[in-house]
Structure 1
Amino acid sequence: MSLQKCFADLHVHVGSDWLGNPVKITGSKSLTITAILEEASRRKGLDIVGVIDAHVPAVQEELVHLIKEGGAEELKDGGIRFEETVLILGSEIEIYDAACNGPIHVLCYFPSLAKMEAFTEWLSYKMTNINLSSQRFYGTGRELQEYVHSHGGWFIPAHVFTPFKSMYGKGVRSSLREVFHPDIIDGIELGLSSDSDMADQIEELHEYPFVTNSDAHSAIRLAREYQLVEVKEPTFLEFGKALRQSDGRGIRKNFGMNPKLGKYHRTVCAACFHPGSPDDKSCEACGSRKMVKGVADRIEELSTSDSTVPARPDYIYQVPLDYLPGVGKKTYEKILDAFGTEMSIIHEASFEEMIEIIPKNVAASILAMRAGELTIAEGGGGVYGKVQPKLS
């Protein structure tokens, strides 16, 4: 049996429903579910995209309309095919029970519209506003886990190290077991400020696969992080096998930004962005007490692993094309026009092909990105890091 390699990003937000009503308040208003599918298929080159606001009734209505009009089709093994991309239906939910000591975001995925519609019905009794993204769930983490798994879904804690609304940020202080049942977790989403080596400093994470997703709030941010999976075909069933590494399927590579680019990588003052120490109570530069503990410092606090870390897929540092010096909107569009999709440019285009379209320094930056040789200025305190131009 032959397997195929697929690029997948499982964390994309809907900005608005098809009636123009907001879904993710901080998301782009133009980012409807149809717009996401068009971007993923036609410009990004993603084989699988997970939309985590599919619990919203109006989003489901738009999908039903798209299917009835022949623009998409549900697959028997789960997922919805649109052109070259398969949609996985997901929902981001905020847990805040007595055990949490702070809000935690989690991702719940289901194989079909019928399963997601049933989830919406169930959530409507446990959530104040079912029409918005990332809303508070009035129940326990274990209760949510048990519902998802008993209905054939996946349960994945989201961006687990970010200082806000995550399992190890202001959520669980020392162990995921304080909130979740460890046997009902299908994967761990690393988030933009960490990588596999950083996460594996925590021994209890060794048993879980790591996923790398964009958490995109706008079209341009799709696939800023993603993974390469090997499956028979891009479906919910097959991706589930990849998470479990069963029947030869698996996650083969994680592609993500260098953690230094993450906006919460290091501890800094939120008022003036002066770097600090995780033990600082106030900023030595401006005196503000608004110190934001960085992910790297938080992981060091939580580090428990003295054992051998598991074999992991390669974690390959990449950035979106528009992060590269010299890639403005015109250059970006020119590259897409020439090569079709971002995945084609990032993974396939040769230097000789690129310099026929773009300046040599931009082509060289793309090659440097492939080789992991970009120079990075660290981010922190809510400000992203930056790719530095190479000195000539």
Structure 2
Amino acid sequence: MRFTADLHIHSRFSRATSRDLNLDQLWRWAQLKGIRVVGTGDCTHPGWLAELEQELVPAENGLLRLRREPPDGQVPDSCRAPVSFLLSGEISCIYRKGGRTRKVHCLVLLPDFEAAHRLNLALSRVGTLASDGRPILKLDAKDLLAMVLQASPRALLVPAHAWTPHFSIFGACSGFESLQECFEELAPEVHAIETGLSSDPAMNWRLSVLDGITLISNSDAHSASKLGREATLFDAELCYQGIYQAIVGGKGVAGTIEFFPEQGKYHADGHRCCGVRLSPEQTIAHGYRCPTCGGKLTVGVLHRVELLADRAAGARPEQAPPFWSVIPLIDLIGGALRVGSSSKKAETLYFELLERLGNEFHILLDASLNEIAARSTATLAAGIGRMRAGEVEIEPGYDGKFGTVSVSASEEDTT
């Protein structure tokens, strides 16, 4: 069965997240986006875990569904579809190793509540779990992996947003140069990495050491409306074991839906305080210092990939699944209408389109451009067409500042 999943999100118990991150809103936005399986996020937080146990009941083997779905009217008929949840969480490991401070974020996927309670008991002996939905623990990522496998041999640990500078396994500021360096003898138990918003599969394909490692993508959503800004397409049995086997074996992952990586806020090098954005070559020429103030530059994902890659750009391993780079529909609508993405005018057209055509992924990837034009504007349809063709205008993100990826389209483009 083919279905789309977003397995890395957060709840309202995490810092810097929206209050709308509750199960009802996640259920609603999953349907609006076109997502069949949603990670619960934050399963290490005792308050959120108790809420999950109260409001979710077993669905497909190892997956969960809402005990009581919200009343009709929350989701247009054109988008209505079943939604299942999978227990997940993110853990921030900060520790010393190899003479350096390491900061590695890890995504954990669990098959049942019993495994979640076993993992939380082990983690509670290391540090507090109640202060943040994404706990910060003085814990070696290798030791976390051992705890995850002790909680359940069917649990998975996936290095989260693997390339971002400050909190990832390959990050320029505190990361490692290989899975083996981080996880040592347990490295074979790491079957996947998460590409993150600032990289895409094509960038990861440049590293032969990642051959055989499954690439997955997720939103890392901090509000319900950000669900699905990245996601993974599975061709597997719809159950926990099906997802587990797809990730471990790789063949059940049929592709990923990606940000254009330049839109990620750590793609390029730079110094945000000075408004300086640099290419890897420019950074090297300036001795890794800001040419304006002399301060230390933040080395971005593109630079880090260049340092570790052993293949030229454009290399692609055999049988690598495809990926699709998209711009969020609300951003495309804002551009077509020449208004802000958060404006009432853009939001009105967004929900009208969903009601007329179906969920967001269908509109972005599959819907006929003629039909989109008939139900909205020719300019929007042309913009979606250009996005599908990769004909985009880019200003890369850097040092914590999101980039902009836009399309330039006129009505004549659809004729």
Normalised by the size of structure 2, how large is the TM-score?
Answer: 0.84
Partner of 2:72: none
Partner of 2:116: 116
Deviation at 1:175, TM superposition (A): 2.2
8 Å contact kept, 2:274–2:293:
no
Match of 2:272 among 270, 279, 282: 270
Q: Deviations over 1:152-175 (max 9, x none)?
A: 201100001001111111333422
Cα distance change, pair 282–378 in 1 and its aligned pair in 2 (3 A): same
Deviation at 1:122, TM superposition (A): 2.0
In structure 2, how many angstroms separate the alpha carbons of the residues matched to 1:389 and 1:210? 27
Deviation at 1:38, TM superposition (A): 2.5
SS of corresponding position for 1:96: strand
Which amino acid in the other structure matches residue 22 of structure 2?
Answer: T
Partner of 1:227: 232
SS of corresponding position for 1:370: helix
Matched, 1:216 2:221: yes
Q: Deviations over 1:265-291 (max 9, x none)?
A: 11111212212333334322x315142
Partner of 1:362: 380
8 Å contact kept, 1:323–1:386:
no
Deviation at 1:97, TM superposition (A): 2.6
Matched, 1:47 2:36: yes
In structure 1, how many angstroms separate the alpha carbons of the residues matched to 2:212 and 2:139? 26
8 Å contact kept, 1:213–1:225:
yes
Kindly indicate which of the two structures has a greater share of residues assigned to helix.
Answer: 2
In structure 1, how many angstroms separate the alpha carbons of the residues matched to 2:112 and 2:396? 41
SS of corresponding position for 2:245: helix
Partner of 1:240: 244
Deviation at 1:250, TM superposition (A): 0.9
Question: In terms of mean alpha carbon deviation, does 291-300 or 56-65 score higher?
Answer: 56-65
Structure 1 gap ranges (5+)? 17-22, 68-72
Partner of 1:261: 263
Matched, 1:27 2:40: no
Matched, 1:6 2:3: yes
SS of corresponding position for 1:179: helix
Q: Deviations over 1:275-310 (max 9, x none)?
A: 2333334322x3151421111011111223589834
Which amino acid in the other structure matches residue 318 of structure 1?
Answer: V
SS of corresponding position for 2:101: coil
Deviation at 1:218, TM superposition (A): 1.1
Deviation at 1:179, TM superposition (A): 1.9
In structure 2, how many angstroms separate the alpha carbons of the residues matched to 1:59 and 1:129? 11
In structure 1, how many angstroms separate the alpha carbons of the residues matched to 2:241 and 2:165? 33
Counting only pairs closer than 5 Å after superposition, residues 288-303 of structure 1 correspond to structure 2 as 288-303=294-309
Match of 1:75 among 59, 75, 91: 59
Partner of 1:353: 371
In structure 2, how many angstroms separate the alpha carbons of the residues matched to 1:88 and 1:295? 29
Count of residues in correspondence between the two structures: 372
SS of corresponding position for 2:274: coil
SS of corresponding position for 1:103: strand
Deviation at 1:5, TM superposition (A): 0.7
8 Å contact kept, 1:79–1:236:
yes
Partner of 1:93: 91
Structure 2 gap ranges (5+)? 67-80, 411-415
In structure 1, how many angstroms separate the alpha carbons of the residues matched to 2:224 and 2:256? 21
Partner of 1:339: 357
Partner of 1:19: none
Q: Deviations over 1:10-48 (max 9, x none)?
A: 11111x2xxxxxx1111112212332222213x112011
8 Å contact kept, 1:105–1:158:
yes
Partner of 1:63: 52
Cα distance change, pair 37–210 in 1 and its aligned pair in 2 (3 A): same
8 Å contact kept, 1:201–1:305:
yes
Cα distance change, pair 10–261 in 1 and its aligned pair in 2 (3 A): same
Matched, 1:162 2:164: yes
Match of 1:172 among 172, 175, 182: 175
Deviation at 1:391, TM superposition (A): 5.7
Which amino acid in the other structure matches residue 63 of structure 2?
Answer: G
Normalised by the size of structure 1, how large is the TM-score?
Answer: 0.88
Cα distance change, pair 342–254 in 1 and its aligned pair in 2 (3 A): same
Question: In terms of mean alpha carbon deviation, does 319-328 or 355-364 score higher?
Answer: 319-328
Which amino acid in the other structure matches residue 371 of structure 1?
Answer: A
8 Å contact kept, 2:268–2:302:
yes
In structure 2, how many angstroms separate the alpha carbons of the residues matched to 1:48 and 1:129? 25
Deviation at 1:107, TM superposition (A): 0.8
Cα distance change, pair 287–236 in 1 and its aligned pair in 2 (3 A): same
Deviation at 1:205, TM superposition (A): 1.5
Match of 1:183 among 184, 188, 200: 188
Q: Deviations over 1:299-330 (max 9, x none)?
A: 11122358983431112211211221226222
Match of 2:331 among 316, 323, 326: 323
Matched, 1:129 2:134: no
Percent identity (aligned) = 27
Which amino acid in the other structure matches residue 319 of structure 2?
Answer: A
Which amino acid in the other structure matches residue 188 of structure 2?
Answer: D
8 Å contact kept, 2:391–2:407:
no
